[in-house]
Amino acid sequence: MIAESAVRPLRIGIATDALHERSVDGEVRIANGGVGVYVHQLVSHLLAIDQVNQYFLIRVGEGRLDIYRTPRARSIFLPPTWFNRAGSVFGTVYARPARELELDLMHFPNMFGGGSLRPPVKQVLSVHDLTPLIVPSTHPMSRVIASRIVIARATRSSDRVIVPSSATGRDLTARGLVPSERIVRIPLGINPLMRRIVPTAEFVARYHLSRPFILTVGVLEPRKNQALLLEVLRELRKQGHDLELIIIGRPGWRWVNPLKTEKYRDLRPWVRILADIPDLDLVEFYNRAALFIYPSFYEGFGLPILEAMACGAPVISSSASSLPEVAGAAALFADPADGGSFTSQALRILCDPALRQTMVQAGLEHAHRFNWRSTAEATLAVYEEVCHPSSGDIAEETSQAARR
């Protein structure tokens, strides 16, 4: 990071359209999952660590979260017309603000929006995963078609492409979208709220908790594979383990509540699906989980795995895509297409207290390596490297470290 260099401060634009909002009981919260958290945490930490460069947060429609009220950044809210919303996908809406604000660099934190800027404005793009291309059946066809067009256009025009995992980087290079020398791996961080806490009796009463539970967290959609956990729960209960299953997440594309089907009628007393859980309550759910299981078919990173580890939950993860890379040696793994493999791993932990304790400690140590300040510092180094490629060794060294 070149905070004290002799070069002039950079004028950095960040497109925040990927950060969705919702109001719950008068409180403005992040409405989407990992991408929304990424944009919010990245901006918050960039503004905290960088007192030199100037930041402009640009979006279609007004933003109400705290990042738009800080004096460290100027917020640009474009009229929420249909034309502008379409332009936010293809990038055309950002060309005029970039020119008028005399930006040095524009960062698009969610693969959409790049491709329409003109020199000398530099462009940095974040690509979290390629699910619309790799598993198109898990997305609306409109998003699949738009992604095929937009990703190719945006990656081609970007000076650097930031990915959260080596798996996403490999997906990009395997499809010929980005040469490896333009890819920078910068892992995500964990909210400091996610930590070990002392459980409370008030929480038990409020959520009517009466038995140990399996926990999973994520948007409710076919790609996340939550329905498999009902099969796991059924088998564990057959084997004498008096457990519940708690699924936390907002409904996503093509979500069908499995409890409404006849197939899972017998499990209704032991399965709960919760949404709009405040962060502090989510922390206690993680802390109380007998097991955290993440059976997703594909992830660019898998942040809930690390959140669970940071709160002391033993983790069983899908063995697909980036998840073994992110979870490391601190989790057990299973095939997301095989419910029996998840059941077997769950039984290992439930029947072996020593293994459970070993996994809890390994998870705490592993999760400690991921923090948003490091994510922001590595991202700032990319900005500096792109705009001042010969301004010093610090940015280059930091960027090289991020790629490893």
Least confident of 26-30, 106-110, 203-207, 323-327: 26-30
How much is the pTM? 0.89
User: pLDDT at position 391, please?
Assistant: 55
Q: List, edge to edge, every strand of the sheet that includes 183-185.
A: 73-78, 54-60, 11-15, 105-108, 122-126, 160-163, 183-185
Q: Work out the angle between the directed axes of helices 353-367 and 339-350 (0-180°, nearest 10).
A: 100
Q: Is 240 left (phi over 0), alpha (psi -120 to 50) or beta?
A: left
**Which range is least confidently modeled, 121-130, 256-265, 376-385?**
256-265
Give burial (CB, 10 Å; 0-12/13-18/19+) of 44.
Answer: middle
- Dihedral Cα 261, 266, 267, 269, nearest 10 deg: 110
What residue ranges define each of the domains in the chain, with the CATH number in brackets?
11-189+371-403 (3.40.50.2000), 201-367 (3.40.50.2000)
Is it true that the peptide bond before 258 is cis, omega within 30 degrees of 0? no
For residue 331, the SS3 value is coil
Q: What is the DSSP string of 158-194?
A: -SEEEESSHHHHHHHHHTTSS-GGGEEE----B-TT-
Averaged pLDDT for residues 382-386? 97
How far is it, in rounded angstroms, from Cα 89 to Cα 114? 8
What distances in angstroms separate CA 306 from CA 12, 59, 162, 331, one per listed residue?
Answer: 30, 29, 20, 10
Report the distance separating Cα 386 and Cα 56, nearest Å. Answer: 18
Residue 366 has pLDDT above 90, yes or no: yes
Residue 11, classed as helix, strand or coil, is strand
Place of tokens 């705490």: 364
**What number of CA atoms fall less than 13 Å from residue 371's CA on the CB side?**
11
Residue 2 has pLDDT above 50, yes or no: no
The pLDDT value given to residue 4 = 47
Q: Kindly tell me if the per-residue pLDDT of 402 is higher than 50.
A: no
* Closest to 39 in 3D by CA, of 26, 21, 22: 21
Q: Is the pLDDT of residue 150 over 90?
A: no
Cβ neighbours for 297, distance < 8 A, ≥ 6 positions apart: 135, 138, 223, 224, 225, 318, 320, 321, 336, 337
Percent of the chain at pLDDT > 90 equals 73
Name the band, by pLDDT with cuts 50, 70 and 90, for residue 390: confident
Burial string for 181-204 (b: 16+ CB within 10 Å, else e) reads: eebbbbbbbbbeebbebeeeeebe
Which among 404, 386, 379 has a CA at the least distance from the CA of 169? Answer: 404
- Say yes or no to pLDDT of 404 above 50: no
The residue among 91 and 194 whose pLDDT is bigger is 194
Over 60: is that where the pLDDT of 268 sits? Answer: yes
Exposure b/e, 103-115, CB count within 10 A at least 16 = b: bbbbbbbbbbbbb
Report the share of the chain in percent with pLDDT over 70.
95
Q: Summarize pLDDT for 137-147 with one digit per residue, the tens.
A: 877 788 788 88
Say if residue 24's pLDDT is above 80: no
- Residue predicted with more confidence, 3 or 323: 323
Which pLDDT band holds residue 394 (cuts at 50, 70, 90)?
A: very low
Lowest mean pLDDT among 72-86, 225-239, 256-270, 298-312: 256-270
Q: Is-contact 30 20, C-beta < 8 A?
A: yes
Whether 125 has a pLDDT exceeding 60, the answer reads yes
Among 199, 218, 353, 238, CA closest to 292:
218
Are the C-beta atoms of 320 and 297 separated by less than 8 Å? yes
Q: What is the mean pLDDT of the chain?
A: 91
Please give the pLDDT value at position 138. Answer: 77
pLDDT at 349 over 50: yes
How does residue 135 score in pLDDT terms, banded at 50, 70 and 90? confident
Measure CA of the first residue to CA of the last residue in the chain; give whole Å. Answer: 17
Tokens describing residue 43? 């901006």
Higher pLDDT, 116 or 239: 239
Least confident of 26-30, 206-210, 298-302: 26-30
pLDDT computed for residue 148 by the predictor: 85
